[in-house]
Chains A and B, each alone.
Chain A
Amino acid sequence: MAVHPPAGSRLVVPGYERPSGVHPPLDFPGYRSTALRAPRRPLVLLPHRLTEITGPLLGAERVTPADADLTAQHEGEPQGQRIIVTGRVLDSAGRPVPDTLVEIWQPNAAGRYRHRVDNHPAPLDPNFTGVGRCLTGSDGRYRFVTIKPGSYPWQNHPNAWRPSHIHFSLFGRAFTQRLVTQMFFPGDPLFFQDPIFNSVPEEARDRLISRFDLGFTVPEWALGYSWDIVLRGRGATAFENPDGER
């Protein structure tokens, strides 16, 4: 049996905004892997109900402090340019999203992932796994210590190279806020030929590029890059009148 609100009171569920002009289309021929994987039929609008406005609140049991330092997960230090990547997770109203899990993964300084199907002929680094996790603080801030990932070739088109990037996975506090994305570095000369980066509507692309920030640089130790991540905020309630009509 469904647990209904007390008789006479109506269940009011706050919806989340619906982005437009932000995310890439699923069907993007320049990125060849979309051809057999992007759904062909139109998506069906799902008004936000209880399952969509809630989500897993994964806590401290998922992370240890060491998980946020990708340069300290092995006996020795990894090769490459040591960097700090930090920023805030916010919603579109500018409110911090505290205590939310941030997961990252990346290749090493030579552009090689520690993954069985990565056959790029660049060296693996015995001191680098390329995986990090942390929870945001009360101000929504995350912070990782890592090394700058290298670029790597891929088979999408002739002489294709991915710009340097770090993969990010975010939960926010609701199913609607779940986001997996990539952070890029300023001034990368490879942007123009990367269909994944360019799949994003032009006006939103620069939101994927971190900013070099001397303020986060640790003198004589590591360069600082800053990147804020903005998740969907509360929008109109999906069910505006007592008849439930939209």
Chain B
Amino acid sequence: MRAKLTPSQTVGPFLEIGLPWPDGPFVVPEGTPGAIAITGRVLDGAGDPVTDALVETWQADTDGRFAHPDDPRGAVSNRFRGFGRCPTGPDGSYRIMTLKPGALPSPDGGTEAPHLDVSVFARGLLDRVVTRVYFPDEAHANTADPVLASIDPGRVATLIARPDPDPARLCFDIHLQGDQETVFFDV
């Protein structure tokens, strides 16, 4: 017999007491060679910052591998955590310090461009919303990516981080609603 799934509920306005970790934003420590800061703001439909959200990221390592036994290629045993978690601040901003992941083979025979899976939790979100961050210096790989190919071309740009004058920094704003609404996935 199948057990019945537990429904989602909102994190509410007080997640800040329970979910942030001191090392949450640091998938890798600051100063790690090659580290990039992915930073941006979470904005609501009025364009106002969402100051009580939590942004979580999950990704492969720089070789496109996971420290996880369900990867059919086998788990790698490096110490790369792959997971980041950052609450938004008073200006709606978050910052995740990480390494750019490698590309991934896709079960349909293609290749997924380097990306991070992102969950956003907040008061007013009865379930998490899920998006992806892609990299602006991977134009060729992004063109071949099966997920980006499944999206209305006019909205693909919402999933590609913007370069910053600082090469160790990328900007990725998350628009929950509005003209620039980010593409969110049914995962």
A interface residues with partner B (beta carbon < 8 Å)? 1-5, 10-14, 18-19, 22-26, 28, 31, 33-41, 43-46, 48-58, 62, 90-94, 103-105, 107, 113-115, 117-118, 129-131, 167, 169, 173-176, 178-182, 196-197, 199-201, 204-205, 207-208, 228-233, 237-239, 244
For B8, give its contact among A18, A23, A43 (CB under 8 Å): A23
A37 touches B122 (CB 8 A): yes
Cα distance A37–B11 in the bound complex, in angstroms: 13
A24 touches B107 (CB 8 A): no
B4, B44, B122: most-surrounded residue (chain A CB, <10 A) = B4
A56 touches B83 (CB 8 A): yes
Chain B residues with Cβ under 8 A from A103's Cβ? 18-19
B interface residues with partner A (beta carbon < 8 Å)? 1-19, 21, 44-46, 48, 50, 52, 56, 58-60, 63-68, 70-73, 81-83, 102-112, 115, 117, 119, 121-130, 147, 150-151, 176-177, 181-187
List 6 A-B pairs, minimum CB-CB distance, nearest first: A105-B18, A244-B108, A33-B124, A56-B83, A37-B124, A46-B185
CB distance from A207 to the nearest CB of B (A): 5
A43, A52, A196: most-surrounded residue (chain B CB, <10 A) = A43
Given contacts A46-B147, A46-B185, A173-B70, contact A51 B115 (CB under 8 A): yes
Cα distance A179–B176 in the bound complex, in angstroms: 19
A91 touches B58 (CB 8 A): no
Q: A19-B5, A35-B45 are in contact. List 14 more A-B contacts (CB 8 A).
A: A10-B107, A23-B127, A26-B126, A26-B127, A31-B126, A36-B44, A44-B183, A49-B112, A50-B105, A56-B83, A58-B83, A94-B2, A105-B14, A130-B18
A45 touches B127 (CB 8 A): no
CB distance from A156 to the nearest CB of B (A): 11
Chain A residues with Cβ under 8 A from B59's Cβ? 51
B7 touches A22 (CB 8 A): yes
CB-CB nearest in chain A for B115: A51
A167 touches B18 (CB 8 A): yes
Q: Can you pick out 21 interface pairs between chain A and chain B where the beta carbons lie within 8 Å of each other?
A: A2-B111, A3-B64, A13-B72, A24-B7, A26-B125, A31-B124, A36-B45, A37-B45, A38-B126, A38-B176, A45-B186, A50-B66, A51-B112, A58-B83, A105-B14, A107-B14, A113-B14, A117-B13, A182-B10, A204-B7, A239-B107
A14 touches B82 (CB 8 A): no
A35, A105, A118, A173: most-surrounded residue (chain B CB, <10 A) = A105
A24 touches B9 (CB 8 A): yes
Cα distance A239–B105 in the bound complex, in angstroms: 13
CB-CB nearest in chain B for A105: B18
B124 touches A130 (CB 8 A): no
Cα distance A62–B24 in the bound complex, in angstroms: 11
B5 touches A175 (CB 8 A): no
B102 touches A3 (CB 8 A): yes
Chain B residues with Cβ under 8 A from A39's Cβ? 129, 176-177, 181-182, 184
Cα distance A93–B94 in the bound complex, in angstroms: 37
Cα distance A178–B54 in the bound complex, in angstroms: 13
Cα distance A34–B144 in the bound complex, in angstroms: 35
For A3, give its contact among B56, B82, B105 (CB under 8 Å): B105
Cα distance A23–B111 in the bound complex, in angstroms: 32
Chain B residues with Cβ under 8 A from A57's Cβ? 67-68
B6 touches A28 (CB 8 A): no
Cα distance A88–B56 in the bound complex, in angstroms: 25
B187 touches A52 (CB 8 A): yes
B104 touches A44 (CB 8 A): no
Chain B residues with Cβ under 8 A from A176's Cβ? 187
CB distance from A119 to the nearest CB of B (A): 11
Chain A residues with Cβ under 8 A from B21's Cβ? 62
Chain A residues with Cβ under 8 A from B5's Cβ? 19, 22, 92, 204, 207, 230-232
B187 touches A41 (CB 8 A): no
Chain A residues with Cβ under 8 A from B109's Cβ? 10, 244
B107 touches A12 (CB 8 A): yes
